[in-house]
Structure 1
């Protein structure tokens, strides 16, 4: 649901902490599960997304904060206390959210499923009516993957990252007690087991099936109790600027070690006795982890895998709007006028066709592409392989350091390279986050080049639920500067002062992006002080970089009206007297993930519109190659401004309507 987030604080702070802001975003995701107008299976998906997001937070952000706490405490006592206080605040917020999660799930979701004749057995014995099927499933499927380890001072056991376990207390015939760790093989077999009896569907967690049959794992022993737990570990990958071996080889070694990082969170069944908890912490070396009570079930991101298939319990389908060709070839259409695709409202087939046509076009000589996150079965990659085999010179800049997509990108790098594609990897200390492609034609063709510039990844899988915008253009100035970008990327080095690339159309991080945005904001400030029309509308995933935030504060103080749509992290505080009273911040959480970056500057009524890959975060501005680009076609500018107006208008309503209205607008336009 769309919502205006108010971050006004009673104390004179200038920025909201980025991690607390992110937790506010994840709470908005959680809140979707409580909305009456959200279909039941979509509510469950939002619970799954919340859980998955939180896992990543503890894998990525908490390790950074723990390191900062340790480093700063060595330098200044006050800094160390500051990070300790922040970690305590985070744990408080997360615990409250987990309580909300539990109440939503047990008090609402389970009863709504029951109303649909679906019984998800939760925290109670397996119903007698399906006990035979559950027992058979245990012995024929689950038991093959069960491993157990006695827990004592001699135990050499390492709990894997985010894997599920039971701590099992048993007693032998002589009255001797001992503890064992038993795995819950939720990655080897499905997390849920389903049985239909008559008109009713029963769904079991495999956790409960295993717990019910532990006497088969420990024959001759008395089972005193079984308590679930999981350990979340640091998933960050660090690389030295100077390295001798290839980045891909180095990455593969690092990825193999990712799941063996330090423990950041120890989540346990709240029924686990305190003496058992102390034993686990001591023997598994978990003293530095955040110890948190949970329910009997963890990894509830698996809820997205519930074996329920009912269209009536999902969002109604919105068939993607196709691009209407004026001729036979898309490339010919782009030569005549700019084309923009708004995914997932518009069909991604247009983007696929861009690469497919280029792979066989007789006058296309060279193709250049940046890749950040590729689809697992990428059709774009296959088109590039075909292009190389058809004699085209194909160069692909692959970012191997795209978090959690490293292995997939390495896989495609090898396949592309084997097909004759020139593969270039970025240097370890610089990420290539730009979403761009370029087709260069031979001299006989009527245009020199065609460009693709996007706000999101060239990934047909995520394009089904990420809202993004893709510009296809023959604009000579833009394509000429795309050539400059690819020329720099092919150098495989960090930008240096002596690098001379003159960008007049594109905004490229490390070169002119931040300064250009400051200039655009300064112009709005000047217009406001002169009594001319002014205003700024920006849509981002995250807003953190303080120089640009301060510039927005300055514009607000000068009277510039600023409207922001920020999906995730927002360190800017809106509506603060004397600081940001002319700034509003809205957050949209809906059926699609808001992902596009859009920048609109009033310019005294002659509005300028930019799109791009760059959020306003430190990493994007200072440690990545990003590309933002202008819209020059008046019709496309009007279209993009209208889409933003719809989201701003609908963000204050009680119903989720902005994405629906955008879909209706684009469908009617087509």
Structure 2
């Protein structure tokens, strides 16, 4: 693959540009009138939340490297500075598209549907009285007005905190010039304040509108010349040397405090703000003009998520009841069932209660003698946490808690301490590696007096809340080889006891990357020999260059490759002589696609793997990940003929990636293909209303990715 090394700029998409394209596909869902109105509003809020993290982590990281003197060239051929300049331009266009979606589409549609976000001038006297009472009772006692002068320096504005800036002038004679006032709004207050309506509509005013209306009461003796809401985004990367820390837990807690004081990387402020206010804020936060984002509406669109709580089921997706696991009538309990067969669960279509029940059963069962589990993210009121605490009273319980799960560090610290207090042995994994694998291993003395291991392996976090809207796979098994290998993995996590081989599991950072590349090369060899050769891989992101090079080589050998990549994809499909046999699709819909599935034809002896890892450097080399084989023939058939087949047949929520980086909806490529949504199909399967036989055989499944199309990218088209 010398060509890959000599011309990387022609073979790779930029990571961050690819991510922005993904967020553009989420914005498309907000713009899509076929989605229920409140769900569209939720999608818009998600794009804003996604963009916050992008600035806190990715943009902040680029700025820091440039500040440190680096300006390296990425695989897409751009230097750091060139990439930053391009990203800045595209983000400004994207933000404009967000606010057009809000102002021109969602806000009028919500108003027509009886959900009204009103200005102060639009609400009637009764609503104003209620808003005034709310302000006096709930808001005013929490506010601290500040004026910026030699005696009062600029306050430390917290990351993403809603603030009000006011341009003030003293009423006292002889006082020249204006001063700046700043009010930081506590996060405890709702950003959308409900007000009564005589017409039966659901009416709201933004909190900053209410505060500005009564700001004169906080600044007596001043004339308010102008005011505007603003928000500052700060660098939220954690920086620490684990080898030098006393304990990882204490270091992470200290860095969480420092994160609140990170350098500013973005200023969001209402477009109507007085230029003097913008200039003073920009100067204070040491930002370039390009880092100022003027908004045609609320400075934090993610707060629109509040509207999803409005009781209007007619404006939301229809309720969906997941399929509950049913045991064989002859099985006395889940453990007996697992001695006879493996169980595959496809969440959220199959209820996550089965996974919770597995841990709870282990906690209560007197025959279970030990439990080992990893925790990366979990819910605020996790039933698993309670089960582990209860189990620790009379069993050996070991939990590996990842303290540095991004933005969940504080809650994970609390979990770790509470578990330790309950008698659980808590470990924090391996220094320098995140523990991202999803494993639970039980040891049980069965009624036949035989010690056996039972396990859960998954692609998603042990979080019952997110399991309702993330698509993931779970496998419950008592396979002796898999569970023995899991035992070795836990020894690695708690003692760094490395094994020569973790077969049949693939484990990062030890064996995973080389095995994935070996599996891809094996398909290349099968194709060269004229044997069946195909790869179908589903993941969140594809970025690792060594894997991409192996895929390019496989394509050149004739291997047919279908990649289902939700987010970042650096691989460029459809390049003549390089990636003509590779098709890339992204599915964005009601549920967040999160499962990772890897299917290899293997000359007719098909192998399927699932796990927690994407094809990214961090997953393959910087985390502890586990990918597990699917051995049961019926489960393999379900994954291949039902799950993967449905994703490849999707013509509604699937977008196909072209060599120029544009995405096109599958329906737009061929108007004659059947109208088929994979997520809708999976819900029908869960309700026993559909089966694999209902998946259409579509030309889209075998269609090459579009080479190039006229017009603009999804992101740029949204900005026009």
Return the TM-score normalized by structure 1: 0.93
Give, in whole Å, the separation in 2 of the partners of 1:502 and 1:46. Answer: 44
Secondary structure of 1:400's aligned partner: coil
- What is the CA-CA distance between 1:275 and the residue it aligns to? 3.1
The CA distance in 2 between the partners of 1:246 and 1:601, in whole Å, is 43
The structure 2 residue matched to 1:68, chosen from 55, 65, 69, is 65
Moved more, 194-203 or 510-519: 194-203
In structure 1, the partner of 2:626 is 627
Partner Cα separation in structure 1 for residue 421 and residue 58 of structure 2 = 37
Instruction: Give yes or no for the alignment of 1:569 onto 2:568.
Output: yes
Aligned position for 2:453: 449
- The offset of 1:460, in angstroms, is 0.8
Whether the 8 Å contact between 2:600 and 2:608 is mirrored in structure 1 is yes
Q: Which moved further from structure 2: 26-35 or 110-119? A: 110-119
Mark the runs of 5 or more structure 1 residues left unpaired by the alignment.
1-9
Q: CA deviation at 1:129?
A: 5.4
> Residue 250 and residue 73 in structure 1: after superposition, are their counterparts in 2 closer, same or farther (change >3 A)?
closer
Partner of 2:490: 486
Alignment of 1:197-276 (within 5 A): 197-276=198-277
Match of 1:591 in 2: 590
* Greater RCO (CA < 8 Å, at least 6 residues apart): 1
What's 2:372 paired with?
Answer: 368
Change (3 A) 1:448 1:201: closer
- The equivalent residue for 1:394 is 397
SS at match of 2:229: strand
Q: Where in structure 2 are the equivalents of 1:353-432 lying within 5 Å? A: 353-389=357-393, 391-432=394-435
| Match runs of 1:263-662 below 5 Å | 263-286=264-287, 290-306=291-307, 308-326=310-328, 327-389=331-393, 391-442=394-445, 445-446=449-450, 448-491=452-495, 493=496, 499-641=498-640, 642-650=642-650, 651=654, 652-653=666-667, 657-662=677-682
The CA deviation at 1:377 is 0.9
SS of residue paired to 2:687: helix
RMSD, aligned α-carbons: 2.3
Q: More deviation in 105-114 or 356-365?
A: 356-365
Deviation at 1:365, TM superposition (A): 1.2
Unaligned runs of 5+ in 2: 1-6, 655-665, 669-674, 692-720
Instruction: Show the counterpart of 1:93.
Output: 90
Deviation per residue, 1:210-249 (Å, 9 max, x gap)? 1112221223432211022111001111221313412112
Do structure 1's residue 111 and structure 2's residue 108 form an aligned pair?
Answer: yes
Q: Give distance in 2, aligned partners of 1:529 and 1:124.
A: 73
Distance 2:350 2:270 in 1: 45
Distance change (3 Å), C-alpha of 1:243 and 1:123: farther
Q: Which residues in structure 2 correspond to 1:133-144 (within 5 Å)?
A: 133-144=130-141
The 1-side partners of 2:644 and 2:682 are apart by: 9
1:590, 1:656 within 8 Å by CA — same for their partners in 2? no
Q: Quote how far apart the aligned CAs of 1:11 are.
A: 10
- Which SS does the other structure have where 1:448 is aligned? strand
Deviation per CA, 1:463-505: give whole Å up to 9, x if none. Answer: 11110001001111101101110111111x4x8xxx4331221
Change (3 A) 1:579 1:75: closer
Q: Check conservation: 1:266, 1:289, Cα contact below 8 A.
A: no
Equivalent residue, structure 1, for 2:188: 188
TM-fit CA distance, 1:186: 5.4
Deviating more after overlay: 273-282 vs 595-604:
273-282
Distance 1:372 1:338, change over 3 A: same
1:576 and 1:428 map into 2 onto residues whose CA distance is 41
Match of 1:667 among 671, 687, 693: 687
The residue aligned with 1:6 is: none
* Residue 549 to residue 126, structure 1, CA distance change in 2 (3 Å): same
Question: Which of 129, 143, 147 is the equivalent residue of 2:144?
Answer: 147
SS at match of 2:403: coil
In structure 2, the partner of 1:157 is 155
CA change 1:639–1:289 in 2 (3 A) is same
Q: Distance in 1 between matches of 2:119 and 2:588?
A: 28
Cα deviation, residue 660, structure 1: 0.7
CA contact (8 A) 1:60 1:234 kept: yes
Deviation of the 1:362 alpha carbon: 2.4
Q: CA deviation at 1:253?
A: 1.3
Q: Distance in 2 between matches of 1:124 and 1:476?
A: 70
Alpha-carbon spacing, 1:287–1:569, altered in 2? closer, same or farther (3 Å):
same
Residue 536 of structure 1: CA displacement?
Answer: 0.3
Q: What secondary structure is seen at the aligned counterpart in 1 of 2:183? A: strand
CA distance in structure 1 between the partners assigned to 2:136 and 2:422 by the alignment: 46
Aligned twin of 1:5: none
2:660 maps to which residue?
Answer: none
User: Structure 1 residues 153, 567: closer, same or farther in 2, change over 3 A?
Assistant: farther
The C-alpha deviation readout for 1:567-605, integer Å capped at 9, x for no partner, is 111111111112211111111111110000000001122
The TM-score normalised by the length of structure 2 is 0.87
SS of the aligned residue for 1:562 comes to strand
In the alignment, structure 1 residue 53 sits paired with structure 2 residue 50: yes
- Alpha-carbon distance between aligned partners in 2 of 1:661 and 1:461, rounded to the nearest angstrom: 22
Q: Is the 8 A contact 1:227 1:272 kept in 2?
A: yes
For 1:416 and 1:209, how far apart are their aligned partners in 2?
A: 43
Whether the 8 Å CA contact 1:126–1:208 is kept in 2: the answer is no
Pair 48,509 (structure 1): closer, same or farther in 2 beyond 3 Å: same
The structural deviation recorded for 1:447 is 5.3
- Pair 526,67 (structure 1): closer, same or farther in 2 beyond 3 Å: same
